[in-house]
Structure 1
């Protein structure tokens, strides 16, 4: 197996959630690490994938909202500083892949499947092979203990239940 590293400058892990039932809040985790091992990234079924997200790095472009998300109302970063993902199976589905694994948020682990697109392979200006992938999954935040909410006077709630997770990766061989 070959170890692969994430090019942090060309990768991102983000999310979106409904806000006030009328718009979306988008955010990202700016600090994360990954373990990706594979015989050949052109065939992702040979891979083993693991991620560790630093919850304190959450960034929604609002300091007050980010601080609330880090609080015990949501992620409780003091008690649960990381979000973890470990793949358990990867299957090819036409031109894409289903990357299934265990997602752990606040000591709650649930199986999640990321629909993953292989964007191709290239060679960077330094002669390294580079592989690109995009992945998406949808989770119910309440299933992971993220249950805080507020009712709106006009009906509905402040924060939606469904979180869309979006991952964009550029990978190259570890040095």
Structure 2
């Protein structure tokens, strides 16, 4: 697997010298989360309803990401946790059925990239930083940037968004692990 820095070097070819639009392959992508539940963990997934992705391999800072998640259809490892999570004391999915993230900057960092942006949960918008790694999907030849996989990791504190229900039992920090498969659309 070749990481972001190698892709950036490969991106100098004329075919990838400008920003390129990518579409998400939702059936091959996972938005996973976990939080502490006493000595155990609550894990889950959330579907993506929209993703706008522009990647510029020559000028990483010109890249942009905007993603919307469907909190009303989130799933959790414990059935009661899913119901509680979507309820008014945590995500309040009836009044706030979507969670959104939009990048404000993308910079190369180590073998990956740092994606800074704004996340909106329960109608509250806060800054968020995610670390990204990117590589070609299996079966695609060197220099072929048409099908990529991105792994993003980060965390939010649910209390920052007023999602404070069951704080005596459930941890404040929610860790995110996103594996997104994307295909070039232009």
Q: Is the pair's TM-score, using the shorter chain for normalization, greater than 0.5? A: yes
Moved >4 Å (runs of 4+): 121-124
Question: What residue in structure 2 maps to residue 120 of structure 1?
Answer: 136
Counterpart CA distance in 2 for 1:12 and 1:133 is: 11
Equivalent residue of 1:77, what SS? coil
| Whole-angstrom distance in 1 between the partners of 2:183 and 2:61 | 17
Greater shift after overlay, 5-14 or 48-57? 5-14
Q: Please give the alpha-carbon distance, in whole angstroms, between the structure 2 residues aligned to 1:171 and 1:45.
A: 19
Match of 1:25 among 35, 42, 48: 42
Alignment of 1:16-165 (within 5 A): 16-20=34-38, 22-40=39-57, 44-120=60-136, 129-149=146-166, 157-165=168-176
User: Relative to total residues, which structure has the larger helix share, 1 or 2?
Assistant: 2
Aligned residues: 166
> In 2, distance between residues paired with 1:11 and 1:132?
9
1:123 Cα deviation from its structure 2 partner: 5.2
The answer to whether the 8 A contact 2:31-2:176 is kept is yes
Q: Which runs of 5+ in 2 are unaligned?
A: 1-18
Q: Which has the higher strand share?
A: 1
CA distance in 1, matches of 2:133, 2:158: 24
CA distance in 2, matches of 1:45, 1:82: 27
What is the CA-CA distance between 1:43 and the residue it aligns to? 6.3
TM-score calculated relative to the size of structure 1 = 0.85
How has the CA–CA distance of structure 1 residues 6 and 44 changed in structure 2, closer, same or farther, with 3 Å as cutoff?
Answer: farther
Query: Are 2:42 and 2:81, in contact at CA under 8 Å, matched by a contact in 1?
Result: no
Structure 1 CA distance for aligned equivalents of residues 130 and 78 of structure 2: 27
Contact 2:104 2:116 in 1 (8 A): yes
Unmatched segments (≥5 aa) in structure 1: 151-156
Q: Partner residue of 1:153?
A: none
